[in-house]
Amino acid sequence: MLYCYIAFSLTRYSCDCAQGKQDSKLTKMLKQQIEEEIKAALKSGDQVRLSTLRLVLSAIKNLEIDKHSEATDEDVIVVVQKQIKQRKEAIELYRKGGREDLAAKEEAELSILNKFIPQQLSEPEIKKVVEEVRAGMPETEKNNFGKVMALVMARVKGKAEGNLVGKVVKESLV
């Protein structure tokens, strides 16, 4: 059974290459950058950076296993954003528990992860996007939080956190 799966997997990947996927170089860029950063961290002996990047790479590989395909840059960004969210929550909890040493470690990991996501939009930039989206909607749907939120998140995908977008959308509906 395992042999059949491996043969199927090899056939599937070879078929993808035969179809001439020209963007394969582009889709691997962020993942390759993380792998290169791991090598650099190994050479420099930076254990915090090394462990952080290994966790991210592990999460990316888990995603690839679940998807049964290579992770795209968008997938990698989503994984990194999840890791960032986990770090922010951990920092908050460590501070509430009086563990500044662990909070500092999480902040160091957070600064490493922030290098792999696109520049985040500021609140005024998000407000501008919300106004543009609401201006292009029918009058009956302009005050529908769910529809406005869905359209705004589609436009700012990967460039803004959902809780900040939700806050701005709620303020615009008032």
Per-residue CA distances from 169 to 8, 28, 123, 125 (Å):
47, 34, 11, 12
- Taking the whole predicted model, whether its pTM rises above 0.75 is answered as no
Q: Answer whether 83's CB lies under 8 Å from 89's CB.
A: no
| CA 33/CA 49 separation, integer angstroms | 13
| CA 142/CA 131 separation, integer angstroms | 10
Closest by CA to 79, choosing from 110, 101, 57, is 57
Residues composing the chain? 174
pLDDT tens track, the chain, 174 positions: 444 444 444 444 434 443 334 344 444 588 999 999 999 999 999 999 999 999 999 999 999 999 999 988 888 988 999 999 999 999 999 999 999 999 999 999 999 999 988 888 888 999 999 999 888 888 888 888 888 899 999 898 878 888 889 899 898 887
Closest by CA to 46, choosing from 101, 117, 110, 109, is 109
Q: Does domain 123-173 have CATH number 3.30.70?
A: no
The CATH number given to 26-116 is: 1.10.1510.10
Residue boundaries of the structural domains of the chain: 26-116, 123-173
